[in-house]
Structure 1
């Protein structure tokens, strides 16, 4: 981004080129999630509140694509019903 001073930017701001490709919100995204401790099962449709920096937002798990081994990172199950 050109012609923007560091002093003009604050925590939480989003900077981008407003003419060529302005920043946009995402309707959905793919994420790798590590579950540390959860009392029940997590399946498609589960809606936890995620914390990203200072934001707290509910995100729905539309599809769980795979289950991985924590130590090796290798896929243990494709499209599991629950984890």
Structure 2
């Protein structure tokens, strides 16, 4: 879960940030599949530019850790409002959904639940 709020994402991805630390720990502990839920999108007024910026920065970082960003679903959500968690949100008409590479080929969806359902058994 990454916070989209101004300053929150930057703090998490900074040198000693928790986002950075959690990604490194997950990889080190053998977590092979990742979902990146970009939370608090309501605080950015569902900004497509902010979402794309976070996806780009996070992709660059997780690649350095050892993950392939093409195998990761990036999902914009608002946990507070329940937006795009179970049902598609009307607040982000620009969001066409996520697509990721899997062992079986490709997987796609729109919501956080879709992303969770796409996790392959180890």
Q: TM-score, structure 1 length as denominator?
A: 0.29
Greater C-alpha radius of gyration: 1
Structure with greater helix share of residues: 2
